[in-house]
């Protein structure tokens, strides 16, 4: 069995009237529609990691994330779909009330290990890795957010030939920078990528994205040439990762009423809020063609605010 057996719907580019008054075209690449549970950029990050696990003897994937992580949710779903054992190392002590993400992961068969935050911060050290192997034996390790070489490789497949020929700007949410890196690596020379940070202080994504590209290309100088094609918008974080306020929720509700496209308040809602603000402020020339990547993550809507 391999990842090609998964029944996926092709991502469609949906036209909107967003930016029409300013002479700007905005289409949305609906990655949220490709699969009910393994969708968005998470599918592209997981695809080649899953293929590596499926070709191994241990058939075990171990990864990391928080109690509300889209990556944990999708990885657990993929494990159930492909018959892969999944282990989730969860940041923080076990909560008294489990999130919908944790409940879903457990229902999918993911083995959950809660690690207090100070220890979790050491997850990339040799001692922590040795402890993981003592506890769980052999496994394929995927970093938090699925952001490794294989994840970037998968994200290079998000854009198709039509996207590379018909758009000037590609927009995406940023949580680790791997999606933006994959998009940059696959764009044509005239295209640029705008990443909207979901984290407070997200200017560091400039370097983080280039670091992903450098590791992928094994060439620092060549990777640095992509820097001029990348813009990071860091002022639309609404207080930081997984934080939001009434202004953002009101925007999401209005946007969904107008465009009938669901958004989440952690990633896509912030990106579309930022994009709308940039269009309103005249940051794009007339005739600019923008493709906004809807990266899924709609399980985050299960909070009471957007039910």
CATH code (residue 132): 3.40.50.1100
- 183 plus 271 within the same structural domain: yes
- 119 plus 252 within the same structural domain: no
Please report which confidence band the pLDDT of residue 304 belongs to, taking 50, 70 and 90 as the band edges.
very low
C-alpha 300/C-alpha 66 separation (Å) is 12
Q: Among 146, 176, 211, which residue terminates a domain?
A: 146
- 61 plus 130 within the same structural domain: yes
- 62 plus 197 within the same structural domain: no
In this prediction, residues 172-200 reach a mean pLDDT of: 97
- 156 plus 270 within the same structural domain: yes
Give me the number of domains the chain comprises: 2
C-alpha 32/C-alpha 47 separation (Å) is 16
- 142 plus 155 within the same structural domain: no
- 79 plus 126 within the same structural domain: yes
Mean pLDDT score across all residues of the chain: 94
Q: Is the pLDDT of residue 24 over 50?
A: yes
- 33 plus 48 within the same structural domain: no
Read off the pTM: 0.93
Domain membership of residue 231 as a residue range: 3-37+150-306
């Amino acid at each position: 069995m391999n990842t090609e057996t998964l029944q996926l719907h092709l991502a469609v580019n949906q036209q909107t009237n967003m930016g029409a008054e300013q002479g700007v075209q905005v289409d949305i690449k609906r990655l949220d529609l490709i699969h009910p549970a393994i969708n968005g950029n998470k599918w592209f990050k997981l695809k080649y990691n899953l293929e590596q696990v499926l070709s191994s003897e241990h058939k075990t994937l171990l990864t990391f994330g928080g109690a509300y992580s889209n990556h944990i949710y999708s990885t657990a779903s993929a494990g159930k779909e492909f018959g892969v054992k999944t282990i989730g190392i969860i940041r923080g002590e076990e909560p008294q009330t489990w999130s919908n993400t944790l409940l879903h992961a457990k229902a999918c068969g993911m083995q959950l290990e809660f690690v207090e935050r100070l220890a979790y911060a050491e997850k990339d050290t040799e001692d922590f890795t040795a402890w993981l192997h003592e506890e769980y034996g052999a496994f394929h390790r995927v970093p938090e957010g699925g952001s490794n070489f294989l994840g970037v490789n998968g994200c290079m497949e998000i854009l198709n030939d039509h996207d590379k020929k018909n758009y000037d700007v590609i927009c995406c949410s940023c949580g680790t920078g791997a999606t933006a890196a994959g998009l940059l690596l696959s764009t044509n020379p005239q295209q640029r990528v705008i990443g909207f940070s979901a984290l407070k202080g997200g200017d560091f994504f400039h370097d983080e994205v280039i670091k992903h590209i450098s590791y992928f290309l094994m060439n620092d100088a060549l990777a640095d040439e992509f820097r001029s094609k990348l813009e990071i918008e860091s002022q639309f974080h609404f207080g930081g990762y997984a934080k939001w306020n009434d202004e953002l929720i009101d925007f999401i509700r209005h946007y969904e009423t107008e465009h009938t496209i669901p958004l989440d308040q952690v990633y896509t809602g912030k990106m579309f809020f930022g994009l709308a603000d940039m269009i309103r402020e005249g940051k794009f020339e007339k005739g600019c063609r923008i493709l906004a990547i809807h990266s899924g993550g709609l399980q985050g809507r299960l909070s009471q605010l957007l039910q």
